[in-house]
Structures are given as structure tokens and as C-alpha cells.
Amino acid sequence: MNVNVEALLREALTPVEPPMQLSERVESTLAALTEAAQGELDGWELAAMSNPRNWVRPVAALTVTATAGTALVALRVRARQHERRGQSSTLLQYVERTLKDIAEEARRVLPDR
């Protein structure tokens, strides 16, 4: 049996383009998770924190907010990377625009924080 391993590997490792709606679905899922976790935190009562058994939900909500919020900011900032690169003539300008974009997006994702 004559098997061309190199051709098989080349075929198996061919890049696959993700579906067009994938980034939109990921972004909407991350936004929904962030909003739900923020809602949980808004309903949190400080007086209930005296009992350690009540710490699980707020800690989970903080973790989800931080994780999903950070991923959402990164996804949105990454989507505008090409635009920022075209507007910047130097590396310093590019970095400044990227940092400004990150700050603006973080304020959008966590408006009351």
C-alpha cells in the first residue's frame, strides 16, 4: 500500500474559513453573558455577604463579567485593527489608537463600572 503521508497532511491541515456569522454569534453570546452577570451583581446585597455560603453567586458573576467582558472587548478591538492600522502613520500612533479603542470599548461593555 503506497500512502503519500505528505499529501494527506497537507489536505488535513488546509485552513478552514469560519462561517460569516460566527463572530456575530460569539459577540452576541459574550454580550448576553456580560449583561446577565452584571444584572446578577446589581441585585447583590452587601448585607448578605456576612455568610460565606452567599459568596458563590457574586464571585461567579464577577468571574463571568471579567472573562466575557474582556473577551468581548478583545473581539471588538481586534475587528477594528485594520482600520486603526490605516489611520496610523507610526507604530506609536497605532499603539495609542489601540489603547484608546480598548478604553472606549471597556466603557461600552461595563458602562456603570
Each residue's pLDDT tens digit, 27-77 = 899 999 988 888 888 877 776 777 778 788 888 888 998 899 899 999 889
pLDDT at residue 113 greater than cutoff 70? no
What percent of the chain lies above the pLDDT cut of 90?
22
Place of cell 472606549: 104
Burial (CB count within 10 angstroms: exposed 0-12, middle 13-18, buried 19+), residue 37: buried
pLDDT class of 112 with cuts at 50, 70, 90: low
pLDDT at residue 100 greater than cutoff 90? yes
**In the chain, what are the domain boundaries?**
21-109
Buried b vs exposed e over 51-78: b needs ≥16 C-beta within 10 Å?
eeeeeeebeebeebbeebbebbbeebbe
Alpha-carbon distance of 109 to 68, in angstroms, equals: 10
